[in-house]
Amino acid sequence: MMTMEAMIQTLPDQYRWADRLSIPDLPPARSAIVCGMGGSGIGGQVAATIAEGPVFSHKGYGLPAWASSLPDAVVIATSYSGNTEETLSAVEAAREAGLHIVAVAGGGQLSELALAQNWPLVEVPGGLQPRAAFGYLTGAVLRLVQGLELLDDTGLDEAATLTDELIGADLDGPGRHLADDLAEGLAGKITVIAGSGIASVAAYRWKTQINENAKTPAFVATLPEADHNEIEGWSTLGSALRRTVGVVSLRDEAEPERIGRRFEPTTRLLSEGATIVGEVWAQGSSPLARIASLAVIGDLASLRLARDAGVDPVAVDAIQELKRTLGEP
């Protein structure tokens, strides 16, 4: 099994793979619902955030009640293993509702179903942890959404170049150094990642990578919503507990001025007595590149946190045990 460091180094090539992908013939559609969980679900969140047309992310069993009333909707089912119960249930619901289905899978039941039913299928290269296949999975979803004319420019090419630069040839690029500094401040802490717009999708990726790679709790505070609830929610914790919280802000020069001016007071109120660990600014011009530039710093920080905590970033024993308990292959 590859190390997680080696898997992360393949990210730029994953974006390039997706950029060159030949897209299967797609059904006529004017909207898309992208269904998937965890590492296979984040592509839907990215697509829903950057698409120019109606694209929705769904994470859970079945489909939302409104799905069949969407005009000409296509369900894009995404699962790296191809065996995730919730995603297969969404596919079943789509069949029952007579919706078009397109699959993105690395094998398993989803690939088999797509082949048997003649649904358009993008098969992504296997051998990685699903979350490490972010570039393949997100890239494939974006290319499909582009093929459906719901997105003009995917930004995959720019995301590849920028991620390459940030990671560096031997994992020694500028992104690695920034990530190491942040990880030093976050070590032994619960991380709260603040972000808005495209940066809140990246913040969610940070959260999941810190959870799964570093086996540590992490939470997202999305602005401006957090200003209406979460800033109240930390104040009664004792100071010893609050010192175990580290806050990182993900910023984007394209964020509206009225969002930008919220960060300083929000993080100050969120973290009174806690540590403000740092800010990361998005780079690049396309929305995907800006998300990717923020996300890769979180990937690298989570690996550093794992190393310093002495845990194996690849293993996801709890996830596998739960899937086994529920009877998933």
**In the bound complex, what is the minimum distance in angstroms from residue 85's beta carbon to ligand F6R?**
9
Q: Output 38 or 173, the one with its CB closest to ligand F6R.
A: 38
Q: Output 23 or 315, the one with its CB closest to ligand F6R.
A: 315
Q: Across the strands, what pairs with 193? A: 220, 248
Q: Output 136 or 234, the one with its CB closest to ligand F6R.
A: 136
Confirm whether 59 is a catalytic residue.
no
**In the bound complex, what is the minimum distance in angstroms from residue 296's beta carbon to ligand F6R?**
16
Structure tokens at 325: 């308990």
In one letter, which amino acid is 264? E
Please report how many Cα atoms fall inside a 13 Å half-sphere around the Cα of residue 257, on the Cβ side: 0
With b for 16 or more beta-carbon neighbours within 10 A and e for fewer, the 35-72 pattern comes to: bbbbbbbbbbbbbbbbbeeebbbbbeebbeeebeebee
CB nearest ligand F6R: which residue?
38
Q: Which of 186, 203, 306, 188 is nearest to 246 (CA)?
A: 186
Per the residue annotation, which of 212, 215, 230, 255 is the catalytic one?
A: 212
Per the residue annotation, which of 112, 184, 279, 323 is the catalytic one?
A: 323
Confirm whether 184 is a catalytic residue.
no
Residue pair 144/26 in contact (Cβ under 8 Å)? The answer is yes
**In the bound complex, what is the minimum distance in angstroms from residue 24's beta carbon to ligand F6R?**
20
Instruction: Give dist(CA 84, CA 145) in Å, integer.
Output: 22
Residues at the interface with ligand F6R (CB under 6 A): 37-40, 79-81, 84, 87, 129-131, 212, 316, 319
Q: Output 91 or 289, the one with its CB closest to ligand F6R.
A: 91
Confirm whether 212 is a catalytic residue.
yes
Positions annotated as catalytic residues are 212, 228, 323
